[in-house]
Structure 1
Amino acid sequence: MSTVAWITARGLFGRRRVLLLLPLPILLIVLAVICDAAGVDAREWGAPVIVGLGLAVLLPVVALIVGTGVLGSEVDDGTIVHILTKPLPRRDIILAKLGVAVVASAVTAAVPLFVAGVLADSVRFGLALAVAAALGAVAYSALFLLLSLLTRRPVLLGLVYILVWEGLLGRFVSGTRVLSIEQYVITVGDRLSPATDILDPKVGLPVALVMAAIFAVGGTLFAVNRLRSFSMAGETS
């Protein structure tokens, strides 16, 4: 499994796709630094920068790029056949690739969110955002990895989930928030550092933790099962 993880990481960070991970984290840090240096009240810039850009855009988009990239390219070009011919349990393949996706997404999102949180409020708030981002990275990565095995257009469907379900419906239709990973992240971050008014959770902590676990575990199990069907049916796309 470690070999699969190493090959996945080398392939992911050796492609131009990794360059897509840099602009949003840099933009988030730059905006936070500028607002703090200008003396703008954190209650004015915290929500649009930390929530609007960091949690609603940076975290899911990075997870989408990485989550669909760790296996999606191999499905598209047919090289997945070579992986399936190896004497490795399909579970180990999925877990190795998911692990790479989670670590890459969590680090890329957590570091700039930590910096923004420290500038906006305190180290505790920065740590709360980092922990919440890591939780979100697990749930998002499992979902997007599964999409890369279910469809030829995982990025498109992932964007529909982020922009339409979470971004549009999640703000105006209260019932959809139960299936919004963004809301789970906001709730966890708020509970870990409740002193700030920047975060505005819309779901309870038990719902956030249970549903995040369902996304993570359910997505992983479905991905393992889907990869097994690739093996049995000899699919290459």
Structure 2
Amino acid sequence: MSTVAFITARGLFGRRRALLLLPLPILLVGLALLCRAYDVSPDQWGRAVIVGLGLTVVLPVVALIVGTGVLGSEVDDGTIVHILTKPLPRRDIILAKYAVAATVTTVVSAVPLFLTGLLAGSAKLGAALAVASLVGALAYSALFLLFSLLSRRPVLVGLVYILVWEGLLGNFVSGTKVLAVGQYVVTITDKIAPTTMIESSVGLTTALVMSAVFIVLGTIAAINRLGSFSLAGETS
């Protein structure tokens, strides 16, 4: 399992895709620094930068790039066959790749979100954002890893989920918020460090329970889906 995780991490950072992880976090911190440098009150930029960019764009997009990258390319080019021929349970393969995806997503998103919260004037807010991004990374990674096994266009499917389900429908159809990871992240942040810059739309219990549901069911579904792959790289 550790060998699979090492190979996955090496492959992830060895591709150009890894470079896509940098611009959004840099933009997030850069905007916060710019507002701080011009002495703009966090009440004026906090919601747009922290929620509108950080929690709504940076976290899910980073999770999408990483989550679909740890396995999707292997499915596309057929190299997944080499992994499946190894004497490893399918469960261990998925768990190793999920661990890499969740860890990388957490680090890449939590650090800039913490710095942004700190620049907004509160170490507590920064810590809350880091904790929330950890939960979000776990949930998003399970979902996007599953997408990479269900579709040949996992990035497109993931973007539809982020932009349409969480973005468009999440703002106008209240029922969709219960199935939106982004709402759980906002709620967790709001409950740890209440601020006028962040307003939650679902309860904390709902956020925690549904995050666990995404993590557990997404991982189990991914394990079952990988189990349906034959050695020819096709699904049975």
The TM-score range, normalised by the shorter chain, is: over 0.9
Query: 1:104-143 CA deviation, whole Å, 9 max, x = no partner?
Result: 1111100110000011131111000001001000000000
- Name the amino acid aligned to 1:129: L
Equivalent runs, 1:138-149 vs 2, <5 Å: 138-149=138-149
Separation in 2, partners of 1:118, 1:163: 28
User: Residue 19 of structure 1 corresponds to which residue in structure 2?
Assistant: 19
1:179, 1:211 within 8 Å by CA — same for their partners in 2? yes
User: Residue 221 of structure 2 corresponds to which residue in structure 1?
Assistant: 222
CA RMSD of aligned residues (A): 1.0
Question: Partner of 2:229: helix, strand, or coil?
Answer: helix
Gaps of 5+ in 1: none
- Cα deviation for residue 234 of structure 1 reads 4.0
User: Residue 176 of structure 1 corresponds to which residue in structure 2?
Assistant: 176
Equivalent runs, 1:49-128 vs 2, <5 Å: 49-128=49-128
Gaps of 5+ in 2: none
Establish whether residue 235 from structure 1 lines up as the match of residue 229 from structure 2.
no
Question: Partner of 1:17: helix, strand, or coil?
Answer: helix
- Cα deviation for residue 236 of structure 1 reads 4.1
Question: Partner of 2:32: helix, strand, or coil?
Answer: helix
Question: Partner of 2:58: helix, strand, or coil?
Answer: helix
Query: 1:148-173 CA deviation, whole Å, 9 max, x = no partner?
Result: 00010100010000000001010111
- Name the amino acid aligned to 1:41: S
Given the two structures, how large is their TM-score scaled by the length of structure 1?
A: 0.97
User: Residue 212 of structure 2 corresponds to which residue in structure 1?
Assistant: 213
- Name the amino acid aligned to 1:214: V
Give % identity: 69
Question: Partner of 2:200: helix, strand, or coil?
Answer: coil
User: Residue 155 of structure 2 corresponds to which residue in structure 1?
Assistant: 155
1:149, 1:227 within 8 Å by CA — same for their partners in 2? yes
Given the two structures, how large is their TM-score scaled by the length of structure 2?
A: 0.98
1:135, 1:185 within 8 Å by CA — same for their partners in 2? yes
Separation in 1, partners of 2:177, 2:44: 24
1:80, 1:236 within 8 Å by CA — same for their partners in 2? no
Separation in 2, partners of 1:158, 1:219: 14
Separation in 2, partners of 1:147, 1:193: 32
Equivalent runs, 1:188-207 vs 2, <5 Å: 188-194=188-194, 196-207=195-206
1:78, 1:236 within 8 Å by CA — same for their partners in 2? no
Separation in 1, partners of 2:161, 2:86: 34
1:94, 1:220 within 8 Å by CA — same for their partners in 2? yes
Question: Which contiguous aligned blocks of 4+ residues in structure 1 show a shift greater than 2 angstroms?
Answer: 233-237
Query: 1:169-219 CA deviation, whole Å, 9 max, x = no partner?
Result: 10111111000100000000111111x211110000010001111111000
